[in-house]
């Protein structure tokens, strides 16, 4: 958990980012600061009927951690949700739920048959806030043990932690079921999910966020806390495998250099990271397609003034009663790039600017999304990141708080006029080190001291190292992926292998932006298309109870606006 302090971005770096904002506005035909898009910025030509993509990007969940026994829940009497004592929902699956889902249960790897040294155990709805696990690039590879998937306890389990956080020996093995993550199980029942979706690479949040928006973790440069360039060493935290120019790969969670709110009180002198190359924001700007990243706590609690940087200290209380600062800089991928950063966290000059070029440069607080979701100014592409207490990250968040955010957000979208041509994608940045029994064969190898046998052996056998860039080994651990849309298949489980860059590729293909280039993972990412049926638009939608995730109402006719049935 980070407690943010003021940090001054030098005028030179802030000017670089500001110049990129102006250049982007000019290239796209926008009017900087006015917030009125040009005709080019209203480009709505798409390859599919989807005109709006909303990506809800959560934190730190493996597939088995949330779906290990899907679709069968314990339904233990008397259980309540942590933080509220609200009765946990019971879960009864539909009779037509697919049978061939690759879960812990279907693989026969529940107790007592798991090869790890501790057997998997169910976490109850009252054990929502748990210890955070080790989700380092190297630790996750070591847990794989060459594909045997039997050393998670040794390498990723963290079993004891702070007050009001549940822990036990071998905690990494544990899982929730449909009595806790009821909302996600219900979305899977009524829309489409994948059981073969992975991190693009191994490692924690920052690599996952960068892979979502660029398919690329290479291209990082290092700066001091004061924003001055640094020549990194080979063992540096911020830059791994640096070349002669100091450019290398990021495998950890350094904060972004183009962000006033980077660094925390106990790491106030940490070096910072800046990315070179392109991201999806650059591609969308070039096509005149509206987009935005919306994050909880992005609105500053203290505005930038002169040489005084903005501060981002808004907080909320999680299910365990702990106060959690909302904004995490290293969860905000666009702040690593000068071209798409909003260093001083400036608000849009007007509601009309949201999604378009202007002083906020497409980076917003979550409240900005709320202001446009029911209007014709909803951006074509929206990335949503909850405040930390609701992002699902173990230790400071949890599945109960996360469920409140996801269900409220999707309910709002489903009831909006934009629902008819929207696809909501629920995905995650990393696995947190939680156990998952499935290992995808390495597509992109690496062979450095940061890599374990799983990736080194792949390199030795000739698996390519894309671009020659080391420390990008992947795919990494398996994660949940759900698509909620009028065009998503119903109660469907996709077995196509995909990864975080598959979401990037879907956006690229839908708006014909072209690829990121420079060995980005978008070029080889699997397709999400099997999760959709673009020949048949559904005439129903399912609204969930925002407290416990149970089905609250089913709307029928004209995409749900013609009638309703309550359950």
Alpha helix (H) residue ranges in 8-57 = 11-27
- CA atoms of 243 and 239, how far apart (whole Å): 10
- CA atoms of 276 and 467, how far apart (whole Å): 15
Q: Of 279, 198, 209, give the one whose Cα is nearest residue 251.
A: 209
What pLDDT is attached to residue 547? 96
**Helices then strands, each counted (H, E), the chain:** 11, 19
What pLDDT is attached to residue 315? 96
Q: From first to last of its 567 residues, what are the pLDDT tens digits of the chain?
A: 443 334 445 544 655 565 555 444 444 333 333 333 433 334 569 999 999 999 999 999 999 999 999 999 999 999 999 999 899 999 999 999 999 999 999 999 999 999 999 999 999 999 999 999 999 999 999 999 999 999 999 999 999 998 889 999 999 999 999 999 999 999 999 999 999 999 999 999 999 999 999 999 999 999 998 889 999 988 899 999 999 999 999 999 999 999 999 986 445 678 999 999 999 999 999 999 999 999 999 999 999 998 889 999 999 999 999 999 999 999 999 999 999 999 999 999 999 999 999 999 999 999 999 999 999 999 999 999 999 999 999 999 999 999 999 999 999 999 999 999 999 999 999 999 999 999 999 999 999 999 999 999 999 999 999 999 999 999 999 999 999 999 999 999 999 999 999 999 999 999 999 999 999 999 999 999 999 999 988 878 899 999 999 999 998 865 544 343 333
Cβ-Cβ contacts under 8 Å for 457 (sequence gap 6 or more): 146
Question: pLDDT of 333-391, one tens digit each?
Answer: 999 999 999 999 999 999 999 999 999 999 999 999 999 999 999 999 999 999 999 99
Cβ-Cβ contacts under 8 Å for 355 (sequence gap 6 or more): 37, 290, 291, 292, 362, 372, 377, 378, 379, 380, 382
- CA atoms of 290 and 375, how far apart (whole Å): 14
- Right CATH for 39-217+277-528 from 3.40.720.10, 3.40.50.2300, 3.30.750.200, 3.60.15.10: 3.40.720.10
Residue 508: both structure tokens together: 């690229």
What pLDDT is attached to residue 85? 85
- CA atoms of 405 and 382, how far apart (whole Å): 16
Q: What are phi and psi of 371, to 5 degrees?
A: -75, -15
For CA atoms 528, 529, 530, 533, the dihedral sign is positive
CA 227 from centre of chain: 27
- CA atoms of 544 and 186, how far apart (whole Å): 8
- CA atoms of 154 and 442, how far apart (whole Å): 22
Instruction: Tell me which residue has tokens 């209380």.
Output: 317
Please say whether the beta carbons of 119 and 112 come within 8 A.
yes
Residue 327: both structure tokens together: 């904004």
- CA atoms of 374 and 352, how far apart (whole Å): 13
Residue 210: both structure tokens together: 């960068």
For CA atoms 459, 461, 463, 464, the dihedral sign is positive
Instruction: Tell me which residue has tokens 């980076």.
Output: 363
CA distances from 505 to 63, 257, 279, 520, 522 (A): 21, 27, 12, 10, 5
- Beta strands per DSSP E along 430-534: 481-484, 492-494, 498-499
What's the length of the chain? Answer: 567
500, 386, 393, 4 alpha-carbon torsion, rounded to 10°: 110
Residue 134: both structure tokens together: 């080790």
3-state class (DSSP) for residue 541? strand
**H or E segment at 303?**
none
Residue 559, phi-psi category: left (phi > 0), alpha (psi -120 to 50), beta (remainder): left
**What DSSP character marks residue 195?**
S
pLDDT, averaged across the chain:
91
Q: Of 122, 126, 128, give the one whose Cα is nearest residue 87.
A: 126
Angle (deg, nearest 10), helices 11-27 and 280-287: 40
Residue 481, phi-psi category: left (phi > 0), alpha (psi -120 to 50), beta (remainder): beta
Question: pLDDT of 263-293, one tens digit each?
Answer: 864 456 789 999 999 999 999 999 999 999 9
Question: Per-domain residue ranges for the chain?
Answer: 39-217+277-528
- CA atoms of 321 and 319, how far apart (whole Å): 5
249 half-sphere exposure, CB direction, 13 A CA radius:
27
**What DSSP character marks residue 385?**
E
What pLDDT is attached to residue 437? 98
3-state helix/strand/coil string of 395-434: CCCCHHHHHHHHHHHHHHHHCCCCHHHEEEEEEECCCCCC
Q: What are phi and psi of 175, to 5 degrees?
A: -145, 155
Pairing between strand 422-428 and 52-58? parallel
């Amino acid at each position: 958990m980070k407690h943010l302090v003021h940090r001054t971005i030098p005028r030179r770096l802030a000017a670089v980012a500001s110049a990129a904002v102006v250049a982007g506005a000019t290239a796209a035909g926008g009017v900087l600061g006015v917030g009125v898009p040009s005709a080019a910025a209203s480009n709505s030509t798409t390859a599919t009927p989807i005109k709006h993509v909303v990506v809800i990007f959560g934190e730190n969940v493996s597939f088995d951690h949330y779906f290990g026994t899907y679709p069968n829940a314990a339904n233990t009497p008397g259980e309540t949700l942590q933080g509220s004592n609200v009765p946990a929902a019971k879960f009864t699956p539909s009779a037509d739920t697919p049978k061939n889902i690759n879960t812990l249960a279907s693989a026969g790897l529940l107790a007592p048959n798991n090869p790890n040294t501790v057997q998997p155990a169910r976490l109850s709805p009252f054990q929502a806030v748990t210890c955070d696990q080790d989700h380092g690039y190297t630790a996750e590879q070591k847990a794989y043990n060459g594909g045997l998937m039997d050393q998670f306890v040794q390498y990723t389990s963290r079993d004891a932690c702070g007050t009001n956080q549940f822990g036990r020996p071998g905690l990494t093995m544990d899982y929730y079921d449909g009595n806790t993550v009821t909302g996600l199980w219900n979305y899977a029942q009524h829309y489409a999910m994948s059981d073969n979706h992975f991190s693009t690479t191994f490692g924690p949040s920052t690599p996952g966020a960068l892979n979502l928006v660029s398919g690329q973790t290479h291209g990082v440069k290092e700066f001091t806390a004061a924003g001055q360039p640094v020549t990194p060493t080979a063992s540096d935290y911020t830059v791994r495998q640096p070349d002669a120019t100091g450019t290398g790969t990021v495998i950890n969670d350094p904060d972004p250099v183009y962000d006033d709110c980077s660094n925390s009180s106990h790491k106030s002198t940490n070096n910072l990271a800046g990315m070179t190359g392109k991201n999806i924001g650059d591609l969308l700007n070039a096509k005149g397609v509206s987009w935005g990243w919306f994050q909880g706590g992005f609105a500053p609690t203290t505005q930038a003034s002169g040489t005084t940087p903005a501060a981002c200290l808004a907080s909320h209380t999680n299910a365990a009663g702990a106060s959690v600062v909302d904004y995490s800089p290293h969860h905000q991928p666009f702040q690593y790039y000068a071209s798409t950063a909003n260093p001083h966290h400036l608000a849009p000059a007007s509601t009309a600017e949201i999604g378009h070029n202007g002083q906020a440069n497409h980076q917003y607080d979550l409240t900005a999304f709320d202001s446009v979701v029911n209007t014709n100014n909803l951006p074509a592409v929206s990335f949503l990141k909850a405040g930390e207490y609701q992002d699902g990250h173990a230790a400071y968040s949890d599945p109960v708080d996360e469920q409140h955010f996801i269900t409220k957000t999707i309910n709002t979208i489903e009831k909006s006029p934009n629902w008819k041509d929207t696809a909501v994608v629920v995905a995650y940045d990393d696995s947190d080190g939680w156990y998952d029994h499935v290992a995808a064969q390495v597509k992109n190898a690496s062979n450095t001291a940061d890599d374990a046998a799983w990736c080194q052996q792949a390199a030795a056998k000739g698996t390519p190292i894309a671009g020659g860039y080391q420390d990008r080994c992947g795919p990494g651990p398996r994660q949940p992926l759900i698509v909620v849309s009028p065009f998503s298949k119903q109660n469907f489980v996709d077995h196509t292998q995909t990864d975080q860059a598959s979401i990037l590729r879907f956006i690229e293909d839908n708006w014909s932006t072209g690829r990121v280039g420079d060995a980005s993972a978008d070029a080889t990412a699997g397709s999400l298309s099997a999760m959709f049926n673009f020949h048949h638009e559904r005439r129903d939608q399912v609204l969930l109870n925002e407290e416990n995730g149970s089905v609250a109402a089913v709307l029928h006719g004209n995409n749900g606006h013609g009638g309703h049935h309550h359950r």
